[in-house]
Amino acid sequence: MRHASCVALAGALLTTTCLSPVIAAEQEKETKNLEAVTVYATKSAQSTFDVPAIVNVIDTEAPGKALSSSTKDLLNHTPGVEVDNGPRRNGQTVSIRGFDAEAIITLKDGRRQNFESAHDGRFFIDPSLLRRVEVVKGAASSIYGGGAIGGVVAFETKDAADILEPGEMAGASFSLGGRTGNEEVSSILTGYGRTENLDIIGSLALRSSGDINTPEDELDTDDQVASALLKGSFTIGDWHTFKAEFQGSNNDGQEPNNGAGAIGSSNPIVDKVVDDKQYSLKYAYENPGDTLLNSKLHLYFNDTDVEETDITGTNAGRVQSRAIKTLGFTADNQSRFEISDTHKHTLSYGFEIYQDKQTGKSTATGDGTRPGVPNAETLNYGAFIQDEIAFETGIGRFLIIPGLRYDRYQTEDEVGNEQDESAFSPKLALSYNPTDNFVIFGSIAQAFRAPNMTEVYAAGLHFPGGGPIPNNFFIPNPDLAPEKVTTYELGAGVDFDKLFTDEDSLNVKGSVFLSEGKDFIAQEVNVFAGTTQFLNIDKAELYGFEMSSSYAIGAFEANAGLSYVHAKDKDTGDYNDNNVPLTLTTDFNYTIAEYSSVVGFQSRYAKGNDRVSDGNEGTGGYGVHDIYYRWAPTDGSFQNVTVDFGISNIFDQKYTKRYAVLVEEGRSFNVKASYKW
């Protein structure tokens, strides 16, 4: 029998500020990933332990996570996940099992995040607006389409119903925080309310930060960030829910053009303004008594614009911008069929269409276009069907999930270059539970990634030359083929309550995987020829393993994760950029109920990475340690107050993550105080 609180955690949406009291150890600790519920792995609610995949669910308001000010803070201790491109907030991207951001589907409340840039991140959101993050590992193109080679990262924002206690109709919260590592001061104000049929929430988060302190030096960075969330839903007749949402972010800062690189003549300081506005309308019909219809419709629009004004360098005063607008629509339905008490089907099927339009501008070119940022657009549409077949037998419980999706994408730039391709993405997954305490699972999936507009159509000056080195220019490649990958995965897990005592539990789940791909997309820079072009690598192979575990006894809990990825070109034997060194993450925490407190110690260890492609330098191994503490009284004069305190990188460790140029942030003292009324 599993802890009921673990199931509840999957649906729990916690307040923007640190409002959760310390009630019991399992409610205050970071999500028990192996016993939570996943929605994104199969598009229907499944236990993450039973589902035939590796899934992590991160509670953004758990002790330690509530102090997060960036994506790295949220995901840094998730096994198999890397946050790349250094410590600057604007440039951070997420990779899963070595696959970079282009090979991962990123969602915010179901909206695709398709912004593409070699120098900036793919999405911009303040962690304080989020209630949880779900990470699905492995190929998922069978239900999400192109780009889901490595998996899915799904960010979910808060609703009022998840903050208010039973019987409460309205409330507000406010928090103040600070970090010494980047001289940050933050404030978050949230108001929320509900009636029988209405749920509404509004939140505003402000962050002001300066240079990032590293054990080596300071990284020039100056961010003034304003983030907002406004969301409301209205339910008619119990089953029909309409929801509208606006989520926006504006970051006005000064940092290098390439935030992941060192400052230099080709990477000057710019005044960078990142403006991101996203809108969505949703309709859901969710009647538990209707076995044929469980429908969801979603219309959304994303408008992301990054404008850079050169402050230093030979092009001081130049203004360049990159804008991408995404208009998307999805329609999903589920039908349930109960063949017998021991044999059931959940049939999921749907349709999706979305369009991306990219515009690049520069004041330094005669025609106003920006080199390397083609004016282009792409249209993608696809349909999928998947069956979850569950049946009980005398030897245990089986879950078989076959799925198939068809996608077509059409792209065109302003000078008439175009692509028109299509792909099928099949998948078959199986899990077998001989008892409630054991699971064995496996899958085989084909996935693809269509090249983005920049990879296909980029033209113009890449970087200026000097001396014997000529100027380097982008060369378009309209014949660039999509990446195609077949992934095999085999894993197992155990889940025990009362293993050694009446109050302990053990959860372990892990897998080994092999991905065989062709036409991997890689950037080739020929310095002496003066060209840069995106080309296909004929064959590539990637294999590795991953494991997550949790052991709890009384008020103490220990979590650990281990991951490793080995990647190479199968024809030449050369390493490629998907390698990830052996990495161990740990989190030990203890609940002190009599003092309404939780204290924790977490670490991240990584071996050195010397398996690098030509032109890249290896990185050394490292061990980084953090501590955190939460005080949250459950009664008395301070029962509405929560205080979080932590020290990240306690020993001021100098380290660089794989393929990175910049040293990561050094020691930082972090604090956040919150009040609810």
**pLDDT on residue 182:** 96
For range 48-77, the mean pLDDT: 94
CA neighbor of 298 nearest in space, from 353, 250, 338, 253 = 353
CA neighbor of 515 nearest in space, from 492, 483, 493 = 483
**pLDDT on residue 612:** 84
At residue 470, φ and ψ (nearest 5 deg) are: -75, 165
Alpha helices (runs of H) in 407-534, residue ranges in sequence order? 453-457
3-class secondary structure, 144 = helix
Count of domains observed in the chain: 1
Least confident of 7-16, 332-341, 421-430: 7-16
CA neighbor of 451 nearest in space, from 420, 486, 473 = 420
> Which residues does 166 contact at the CB level (< 8 Å), separation at least 6?
none
3-class secondary structure, 54 = coil
Question: What's the residue count for the chain?
Answer: 677
- Does the pLDDT at position 11 exceed 60? no
Alpha helices (runs of H) in 31-175, residue ranges in sequence order? 71-75, 141-144
CA distance 155 to 77: 16
pLDDT digits (tens, 9 = 90+) for 599-620: 999 999 999 998 887 767 788 9
List the domain range (segments joined by +) for residue 350: 4-676
pLDDT digits (tens, 9 = 90+) for 183-217: 999 999 999 999 999 999 999 999 999 999 999 99
Least confident of 21-35, 329-343, 482-496, 566-580: 21-35
For range 459-483, the mean pLDDT: 90
**pLDDT on residue 402:** 98
For range 371-379, the mean pLDDT: 95
Percent residues over pLDDT 90 in the chain: 81
CA distance 139 to 147: 9
What tokens appear for 604 in the block?
């991240």
- Average pLDDT for the chain: 91
What tokens appear for 525 in the block?
């820079």
**pLDDT on residue 385:** 98
- Does the pLDDT at position 33 exceed 90? no
- Does the pLDDT at position 58 exceed 90? yes
For range 317-337, the mean pLDDT: 97
For range 58-73, the mean pLDDT: 94
Side-chain half-sphere CA neighbours of 142 within 13 A: 25
CA distance 665 to 656: 10
Least confident of 9-23, 126-140, 157-171, 634-648: 9-23
CA distance 271 to 265: 16
Amino acid present at 235: T
pLDDT digits (tens, 9 = 90+) for 518-544: 998 888 889 899 999 999 988 889 999
Side-chain half-sphere CA neighbours of 121 within 13 A: 24
- CATH of residue 172's domain is 2.40.170.20
Amino acid present at 278: Q
- Does the pLDDT at position 225 exceed 90? yes
CB distance 550 to 506 below 8 Å: yes
- Does the pLDDT at position 8 exceed 70? no
**pLDDT on residue 35:** 60
**pLDDT on residue 17:** 33
CB distance 62 to 598 below 8 Å: no
Side-chain half-sphere CA neighbours of 217 within 13 A: 6
Provide the pLDDT confidence category of residue 403 given band limits of 50, 70 and 90. Answer: very high
Alpha-carbon distances of 282 from 201, 287, 332, rounded to whole Å:
16, 16, 12
DSSP state of 451: -
CB atoms under 10 Å from CB of 338, counted, come to 10
How many distinct helices (H) and strands (E) make up the chain?
5, 35
**pLDDT on residue 265:** 77
What tokens appear for 568 in the block?
């190479």
CB distance 41 to 51 below 8 Å: yes
CA distance 74 to 66: 9
For range 649-673, the mean pLDDT: 95
